[in-house]
Amino acid sequence: MSEAPIHHIVFLRHGESVGNAEQRFQGQADFPLTGRGREQARALAECWQTQGMTFDRCIASPLLRARQTAEIVCAALGLAIAFDPDWMEVHNGRLAGLTHEEGNLAAPRPAFMTPYTHFGQTGESRWELYLRAGRGLQKLIDSPPVRSLVVAHGGVLNMVMYAMLNIPVQADSAGPRFLFGNTGFATLEYQPRFHNWNLVGFDGGQMREDEVE
Name the residues annotated as catalytic: 14, 89
Asked whether 70 and 81 are in contact (CB, 8 A), the reply is yes
d(CA 212, CA 74): 27
